[in-house]
Amino acid sequence: MTLLQAAQDVVADLERYVRTHGPGPDKRLDALKQAITEAAAQTKTTAEQIADRLGNDGLTWETEDGITLASLARSQGSRIEAEVNGARVRYAFTDGSAIVVAGGAWDVEGPTPFSWAGGMQ
C-alpha cells in the first residue's frame, strides 16, 4: 500500500465516522481530512501528476488547454526510452516513476519496466 492509498483510506474512514457521528462542534475531523488530502496530493509521483493533468485517461493525449503528454513529460525533464523492438516507449522521470506508451494508449508504469499500472494488454 502506498502512502497515498493509506491517506485515502484514512480520509474514507473519517468520512464514514462523520456520517455516523456528525462533524462535532470543533470541526477537527474536517481539518484533519483537509490536511491528509493535501499531504496525499503532495506525495504523487511525477507520472501520477501528469496522468492527473490528462484526466487519468490513457487515450487522452493533451490537456484541456492543449498541452500534450510529450510536452508535459519534457517539461518535467523526462528521459525517453524504447524497448528493443520499439513497441513500447517510456517517459522516465528523475523520481523513478514513468509513463509507458504502447499501442495508441498510455499508462503510469507498473511494477516492471515498460508495464502498465493498469495491466499491459
In tens, the pLDDT along 36-49 reads 777 766 778 999 99
| Cα separation, 1 vs 5, whole angstroms | 6
Q: Return the sign of the alpha-carbon dihedral for residues 55, 61, 64, 67.
A: positive
Ranges of residues in the chain with a pLDDT under 70 are 1-4, 23-29, 40-41, 120-121
Are both 20 and 50 inside the same structural domain? no
Domain boundaries, position 11: 3-42
Instruction: Look at the chain and report how many structural domains it folds into.
Output: 2
Are both 50 and 13 inside the same structural domain? no
Coil, helix or strand for 70? helix
Alpha helical stretches, state H, the chain? 3-21, 28-42, 46-53, 69-75
Are both 38 and 85 inside the same structural domain? no
- Residue 109 contacts residue 116 (beta carbons within 8 Å): yes
- Residue 37 contacts residue 7 (beta carbons within 8 Å): yes
Q: Residues 6 or more apart from 60 whose CB is under 8 A from it?
A: 54
Are both 50 and 101 inside the same structural domain? yes
Q: Whole-model pTM above 0.85? A: no
Are both 93 and 58 inside the same structural domain? yes
pLDDT at residue number 46: 94
pLDDT at residue number 77: 95
